[in-house]
Chains A and B, each alone.
Chain A
Amino acid sequence: MPAVPFEYHGPATLDEAIGLLARYGERAKALAGGQSLVPLLTLRLARPEVVVDLNGIQELRVVRRDGDDLFIGALVRHRALERGEGALAACAILREAAALIGNVRVRTLGTIGGSLAHADPAAELPAVVRALDGTLVVRGAAGERAIPAHEFFIGALTTALAPDEVIVGIRLPVLGPGVGYAVTEFTRRAGDFAIVAAVAVVEVRPAGEIARARVALAGVGSTPIRLPGVEAALRSERPDPRTLRRAAEGAAREIEPEGDAHASAAYRRHLARVLTARALERAAAAAADGRPA
């Protein structure tokens, strides 16, 4: 079905885009890669009066290294993350996560900013940004602000982004040697959203024990969820498989998943345990090897 007709704007600058979003408020939708918005338009689940196409804004394509951080412009496509193009190579966890997104066509056009703004509870990139304690840089009529990931995701498809705000980019820490990571997920069919996805980032001290472990899950709540209990249980432990698996058992106690047509709550808890264990094992092994997973 064709979309309900709308007024289309293709601004060349971020200021212009913000001006349009401020003027039209809830009547407008910002368009990035369109891989979630366009089906909503053609299914007529979304009927904005105005579409503000962000794709012409060069400022949103910037990728730059700022010391220990990588700043990734909101319009950077999943394929660029997957290929580790240019400075993106410094954040190799994004390669692994992006390769799991949808199908190749979604990755050609889909953007990191679009994925975060859409905030699907089962999406990979929000969980990665949450695991890495990333920061979203957003700009609106009132100016620019930085929102930590734990404040950005509010609920399913709901974020702290105001109607007149645009994500400019995401700041993520570059993982050094001694830090391993892994992204694991279970899907019913290739390319589906995950039933549950787990992101683990494990830092191992030279002596061999865990300095810090971070775990985030997608698909077990309305937002990506960190597992502080699992993380605390691993601090200063040696990353042997038994310890990691015992800690991962705790994942089920830290989540309150709901059952739906795709999976029961009990099955999601099971997946949370299994995928957390697998992600931790792979991340810890990579950290011990001193190379990315």
Chain B
Amino acid sequence: MNERAITFTLNGRPREVQVPAHRTLLDVLRDDLGALEVKEGCGEGVCGTCTVLLDDEPVSACLVLIPRVAGRRITTVRGLGEGEALHPLQEAFATHGAAQCGFCIPGMLLTAYAFLREHPTPSREEIRRAIAGNLCRCTGYAKIIDAIARVAEGRAGRG
């Protein structure tokens, strides 16, 4: 019913899908495009595991109907690094042991990435508020905050 061709950019690469309008970006990314790095959690926009960037702004992929991405840029966690090289945030998460089960980490990284672009030198409190919408049930958040703070400090040091 109502199938349409939707074109958008996924991690810098143009993609076209032929899908009905009632499907969500999350479904299409995972089921049609194999972007399994985007995790489905609550499906209601609360948990943050399916966070992707829509034209550089974080959104819940589960709350975006697919026609809304026509002509837009979608970035998943695979789009953060350069080729095989990890993004500094990914490096910091690994170094600080900020992941346990890892399920929330793609969304957490993208939220942190978008946040640091707008607030390059945040306080610890600002980092806590920035990731408040991304739930992690393993780590207790402390090491995640450490990792984000380290990247921010690194940038401040270079600046």
Contacts and interface: CB of A to CB of B under 8 A. Distances in A.
Interface in B17-66: 20-24, 27, 43-46, 48, 51, 54, 57-60, 62-65
A38 B133 contact: no
Contacts of A2: 22-24, 27
B63 A39 contact: yes
Contact of B2 (A8, A79, A102): A8
A1 B42 CA distance: 11
Nearest to A34: B63
Given A31-B65, A51-B21, A191-B46, A108 B2 contact: no
A68 B132 CA distance: 36
Interface string A88-116: 00000000000000111110110000000
Contacts of A38: 24, 45, 62-65
Report the contact-size class of chain B (Cβ under 8 Å from the partner).
20 to 34
Given A79-B57, A103-B48, A109-B59, A34 B64 contact: yes
A108 to B, nearest CB: 4
B129 interface: yes
The interface residues of chain B, by DSSP majority, are classed as mixed
B111 interface: yes
A55 interface: yes
B36 to A, nearest CB: 18
A105 B45 contact: yes
A136 to B, nearest CB: 24
A11 to B, nearest CB: 12
Contacts of A51: 21-22, 65
Given A38-B65, A103-B133, 10 more contacts: A4-B22, A8-B2, A41-B65, A42-B43, A51-B22, A53-B67, A79-B57, A102-B133, A103-B46, A104-B114
Interface of B: 1-2, 4, 20-24, 27, 43-46, 48, 51, 54, 57-60, 62-65, 67-68, 111, 114-115, 129-130, 132-134
